Amino acid sequence: MNSTMFYTVKKGDSLSGIARRHGTSIEQLQKINRIRNPDRIKEGQVIALKAKAVCKVDVQLLDHERNPMKNAKVRLEYSGKSKQLSSGNNGRLPSIITNTPQDVVKISIARMDGTWKQITEIASDWGNKLVTLVSPKVMIETKTMPHPKGANGKPKPDPGRANKTPVTPPKKPEATDAKGKSHGDYGDGKGPKSEHQNDENGMPITKMTNDQVGLDFLGGYTGAKITEDDYEDAAKQLGCEVAAIKAVAEVETKQRAFDEKNRPTILYERHQFAKHTNPENKYNKINPDISSSIAYTCERKTKGGSVIPNDERYGAYGENQYKRLAKAYSLEKEAALKSCSWGKFQIMGFNYKAAGFNSVLSYVQAMCISEREHLKAFVKLVNADQIEKNALINKDWRRFARKYNGSSYKKNKYDTKLQEAYKKYAN
């Protein structure tokens, strides 16, 4: 912990003495630490010495494709101040520091006509935070083309829309189908592209394309469903009841193993991506929406009541998860694949060895094939951990949830959900 920012109260300390030794005031320490009675501090209590230790707010702007919005003009209003700032190449604004954690920050963005539009407001709250704002539109860089001129040197008259050759829009990406074709929503990972053309009358046309990294591991989907015989065989291998296995599938994905484009259901974990990049946390500063030491949250509000932006929450299974994965995949492929939970049983990519595979890529490719492959991986994963296996056999849902879902299982009530799902299938 930074000793210039924080101080741990020792026996015999007083707030006035701490303030005097660190060149601040009792009132300031009360404000930033939410201390109502300056005469009541406890030994071992950690006190922030400066506002920037707990009241710093960072803002990052991303477009719809999660590309940084650079050079955007933003106005921040807080603590009686108003600052007009421009975002950098990574979409980040310079940091601000509010007076207290209770201060509200109003965020406005400049329109093309120079007026301002307020897009949100947040509470500074306790603890430094990054607010990621995602635009519903794509930001592009292009240039206007000069109007074509005739032989007399004057601009050619516009022949009118009716006489123009219609521009054929780009074909929609081809979705994954049961024949195993890859989903084609993504390109080279460099964001939207602009292409300049002219129609037959010489009028300039700018065509835009949506472009992210290619997910080349997708393909091979067969659509094979898990049969009752498959469940019976898996239960025999594990020594548990069929209802117990079905309960896990129910809680993890509500029985939906693939999406409407025949891609395996995934949940992208940004804190896992940060952990598995080389070095760790490599992209936390420039890509905090997909790489952070802090996991996404299921909650809509913090304890202090401030709204958590949509991009800081998990969100539903589906397209949003694949957009996050595509962005991470353009940075580090293996780390990205390890950072998702895959398929019917939502097995994390970094568990590929326990699931019986030599590489995370081979594991993910198997998850793209069918539900039956998901079940095979689940059996191997549970068989590899005797504690987890015994918990499933004995229907010790608390212990199984802790092993399978981690220490946050209580918060998400995984053990309770597993027990209820088991009762349904057992009956």
- Domain locations in the chain as residue ranges: 6-50, 55-134, 157-214, 228-426
pLDDT band at 91 (very low <50, low <70, confident <90, very high): confident
Q: What is the pLDDT of residues 123-134, one digit of tens each?
A: 877 666 778 888
Question: Over 60: is that where the pLDDT of 294 sits?
Answer: yes
Question: Over 80: is that where the pLDDT of 87 sits?
Answer: yes
Q: What is the pLDDT of residues 372-382, one digit of tens each?
A: 999 999 999 99
pLDDT band at 366 (very low <50, low <70, confident <90, very high): very high
**Token couple for 301:** 């509000």
* Chosen CATH of 55-134 out of 3.90.1170.50, 2.60.120.10, 2.60.40.10, 3.30.200.20: 2.60.40.10
**Token couple for 276:** 């598995």
DSSP 317: S
pLDDT band at 410 (very low <50, low <70, confident <90, very high): confident
For the chain, the average pLDDT equals 82
State the residue for tokens 């918060």: 411
Whether the CB-CB separation of 378 and 248 falls below 8 Å is answered with: yes
Question: Over 70: is that where the pLDDT of 179 sits?
Answer: no
Per CATH, which fold does 6-50 belong to? Membrane-bound Lytic Murein Transglycosylase D; Chain A (3.10.350)
Whether the CB-CB separation of 190 and 211 falls below 8 Å is answered with: yes
Question: Over 90: is that where the pLDDT of 339 sits?
Answer: yes
Question: What single string gives the DSSP state of each residue in 53-108?
Answer: GT-EEEEEEE-TTS-B-TT-EEEEEETTEEEEEE--TTSBPPPEE-SSTT-EEEEE
Question: Which position has the higher pLDDT, 208 or 366?
Answer: 366
Question: Over 90: is that where the pLDDT of 352 sits?
Answer: yes
Write the secondary structure of 248-281 as one string of H (helix), E (strand) and C (coil).
HHHHHHCCCCECCCCCECEEECHHHHHHHCCCCC
Question: Over 90: is that where the pLDDT of 313 sits?
Answer: no
Mean predicted confidence (pLDDT) in 268-292 = 92
- Whole-angstrom distance, CA of residue 322 vs CA of residue 262: 12
pLDDT band at 418 (very low <50, low <70, confident <90, very high): very high
Which pTM was predicted? 0.58
In this predicted structure, what is the pLDDT of residue 107? 94
